[in-house]
């Protein structure tokens, strides 16, 4: 009987207990192609044998970079880990510089890529990575070895006993993977997660998943290079859930209807998009249909769990579900029992309206450094409270420091940052991981996140933004005196900019002539706005797509210590600046 101690034990456990014909399912050329549990294991072993013949040794690093989640990724993951090697999943859309940094820092020996777009980036920086011996692609690409070459190299199973020997020596406390997260100072940090870090998190998280073991399907589309979706992959394998990979973010609504999953994960941005689409459709209705639609929505926005609104409300909700919300359920495939929302704060109104509509959304909280889940809501046993991130997982202890910081202790807390004992010592102190988030625990044990200690934030799509990094680059423009990047919990990063009025006066003299000197009038001038847009576009090129400044507004004032914009040491008072220019903030995000 397989006991799960290491990540590669999951598929074997599934084979013994809840084997599936559709363990992993990817759509190729319009057809859903199933890989059974047995085939998954057979191919993973072939990858292990092939990598062994390529000289991959215990402790070697192999990078995995894929634009979409797909069966090949999971097969390679298990194949790499079985050898006592570690994989390094890399987010595909980071800059070429960051590719080079991560591959060098991790000393990756081989690299698997999904497609042409990723390969082009790798080819540009390959010469800068002396450790890299080979690149294999999942798609068929001219001039690049296909991943099937490694499978073919492992077709001869005469070295399987060597693979088995390697597997037997892997301990649960061993490093399994390096996950690089964006740092505030620019260079990503390699989070070291052990087998037991992630195994414990998958098994403990499974206690919060309200599905019938062995009979559910999951739709997977959040990037598997992040630990959130990846941990869930192992949890799905543990619970005998078939994993169907969405083709892309654009096709999710079609894929939901095709797969009809019981479970999926989401980030708030996706739920916002779904909600906005539904509301737009409702707005197009007329007459009684429109009235009914918005009656149902307003009912949904008042939803509380466990019938707290009383009998009359529940009766009305029944009608709303029959007439209106049943269509929402259909749009999401009709079978959803759980949508796990993570990686950024979920607006309570969305949690209410989706739960009212019979599409249960449960918000959780975690970090890459905690593999990732610390706490999560669950409808059962009174475990759901809107506006909180739920109760702690089993074996997880959270305490709130004197300054309000959330400190975590548990089997999911990382080993440390790779090759960075100093940064590790900063966050792992007195047996606790210091999260940098501020929160509180209520009398019933629900955790609530109230603020961020760090200045880094996430967009509603769950992407980390390091504002200082972007600001420091943008401030190189002579047109920009001060810039504050905003967008915490919003769909995109934007900026409030104090123009460099002195330089602009000079520029006006030389180039434009005729622009007004009064700041309030000047910042309305189309010519100036266009010129600053040009500057933003230029510097945006240095960043990943999700970090680029999409919109900005100019402020008429000079930011100063006297007016409260800046601290005595000239640091921006972000909260105050945002409050001062709330009208501009609302204009940017259409609030």
- Write down the domain spans for the chain: 9-264, 268-341, 363-453, 466-589
Structure tokens that stand for 126 in this block: 């390959």
Domain with residues 363-453, CATH architecture: Roll (2.30)
pLDDT in the model for residue 186: 60
The beta-strand segments (E) located in 84-223 are: 86-89, 108-113, 134-137, 145-146, 175-181, 189-194, 217-220
Tally Cβ neighbours within 10 Å of residue 2: 13
Beta bridge partners of 134: 110
Structure tokens that stand for 200 in this block: 């414990």
On the question of pLDDT at 453 being above 70, the answer is no
On the question of pLDDT at 274 being above 50, the answer is yes
Structure tokens that stand for 425 in this block: 């010592």
Report DSSP letters for 290-329, one per residue: HHHHHHHHHHHTT--STTTT-HHHHHHHHHHIIIIIHHHH
pLDDT in the model for residue 23: 98
Domain with residues 466-589, CATH architecture: 2-Layer Sandwich (3.30)
Fold of 9-264: Rossmann fold (3.40.50)
- 184 band by pLDDT with thresholds 50, 70 and 90: very low
User: 58-71: per-residue pLDDT in tens?
Assistant: 999 999 999 999 99
What phi and psi, each to the nearest 5 degrees, are found at residue 70?
Answer: -160, 160
> Nearest Cα to 133, choosing from 40, 79, 55?
55
User: 52-109: per-residue pLDDT in tens?
Assistant: 999 999 999 999 999 999 999 999 999 999 999 999 999 888 888 889 999 999 999 9
DSSP run (H or E) holding 365: strand 361-366
Which residue, chain included where needed, has tokens 């007329």? 286
User: 513-572: per-residue pLDDT in tens?
Assistant: 788 989 999 999 999 999 999 999 999 998 989 999 999 999 999 998 778 887 655 668
Which pTM value belongs to this model? Answer: 0.82
Is the separation of the CB atoms in 568 and 561 below 8 Å?
yes
SS3 content of the chain, % helix, strand, coil (to 5): 40, 20, 35
User: 113-137: per-residue pLDDT in tens?
Assistant: 999 999 999 999 999 999 999 999 9
Q: Assess whether the region 9-264 and the region 466-589 belong to the same CATH fold.
A: no
Q: Which of 351-365, 388-402, 460-474 has the lowest mean pLDDT?
A: 460-474
Query: 316-332 as b/e, with b when 16 or more CB fall inside 10 Å?
Result: ebeebbeebbeebeebb
On the question of pLDDT at 282 being above 60, the answer is yes
């Amino acid at each position: 009987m397989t006991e799960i101690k290491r990540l590669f034990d999951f598929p074997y456990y599934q084979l013994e207990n809840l084997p599936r014909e559709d363990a992993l399912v990817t759509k190729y050329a319009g057809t859903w192609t199933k890989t059974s549990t047995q085939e998954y294991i057979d191919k993973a072993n072939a990858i292990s044998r092939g990598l062994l013949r390529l000289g991959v040794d215990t402790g070697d690093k192999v990078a995995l970079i894929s634009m979409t989640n797909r069966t090949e990724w999971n097969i390679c993951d298990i194949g790499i880990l079985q050898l006592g090697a570690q994989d390094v999943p890399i987010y595909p859309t980071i800059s070429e510089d960051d590719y080079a940094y991560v591959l060098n820092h991790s000393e990756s020996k081989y690299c698997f890529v999904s497609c042409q777009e990723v390969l082009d980036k790798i080819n540009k920086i390959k010469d800068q990575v002396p450790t890299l011996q080979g690149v294999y692609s999942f798609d068929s690409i001219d001039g690049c070895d296909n991943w099937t070459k490694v499978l073919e190299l492992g077709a001869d199973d005469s070295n399987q006993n060597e693979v088995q020997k390697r597997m037997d020596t892997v301990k649960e406390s061993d490093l399994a993977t390096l996950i690089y997260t964006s740092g505030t100072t620019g260079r990503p940090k390699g989070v070291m997660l052990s087998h037991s870090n992630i195994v414990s998190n998958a098994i403990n998280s499974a206690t919060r998943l309200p599905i019938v073991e062995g009979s559910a399907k999951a739709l997977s589309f959040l990037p598997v290079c992040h630990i959130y979706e990846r941990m869930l992959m192992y949890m799905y394998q543990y619970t005998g859930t078939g994993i169907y990979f969405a083709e892309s973010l654009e096709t999710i609504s079609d894929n939901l209807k095709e797969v009809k999953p019981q479970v999926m994960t989401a980030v708030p941005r996706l739920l916002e998009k779904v909600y906005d689409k539904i509301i737009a459709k409702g707005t197009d209705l007329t007459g009684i249909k429109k009235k009914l639609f918005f009656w149902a929505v307003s009912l949904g926005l008042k939803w509380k769990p466990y019938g707290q609104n009383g009998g009359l409300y529940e009766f009305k909700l029944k009608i709303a579900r029959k007439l209106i919300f049943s269509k929402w359920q259909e749009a999401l495939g009709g079978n959803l029992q759980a949508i796990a929302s993570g990686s950024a704060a979920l607006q309570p109104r969305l949690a209410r309206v989706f739960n009212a509509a019979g599409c249960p959304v449960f918000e959780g909280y975690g970090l890459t450094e905690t593999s990732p889940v610390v706490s999560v809501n669950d409808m059962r046993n009174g475990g759901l409270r809107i506006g909180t991130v739920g109760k702690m997982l089993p074996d997880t202890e959270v305490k709130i420091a004197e300054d309000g910081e959330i400190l975590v202790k548990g089997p999911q807390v990382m080993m440390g940052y790779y090759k960075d004992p100093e940064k590790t010592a900063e966050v792992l102190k007195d047996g606790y991981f210091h999260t940098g988030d501020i929160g509180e625990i209520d009398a019933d044990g629900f955790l609530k996140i109230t603020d961020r200690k760090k200045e880094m934030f996430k967009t509603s799509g769950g992407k980390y933004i390091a504002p200082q990094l972007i600001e420091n680059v943008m401030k190189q423009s002579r047109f920009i005196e001060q810039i504050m990047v905003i967008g915490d919990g919003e769909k995109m990063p934007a900026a409030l900019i104090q123009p460099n009025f002195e330089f602009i006066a000079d520029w006006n003299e030389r180039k434009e002539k005729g622009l007004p000197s009064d700041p309030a009038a000047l910042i309305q001038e189309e010519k100036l706005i266009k010129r600053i847009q040009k500057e933003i576009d230029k510097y945006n090129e240095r960043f990943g797509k999700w970090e680029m400044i999409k919109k900005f507004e100019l402020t008429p004032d000079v930011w100063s210590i006297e007016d409260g914009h800046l601290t005595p040491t000239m640091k921006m008072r972000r909260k105050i600046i945002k409050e001062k220019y709330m009208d501009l903030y609302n204009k940017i995000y259409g609030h």
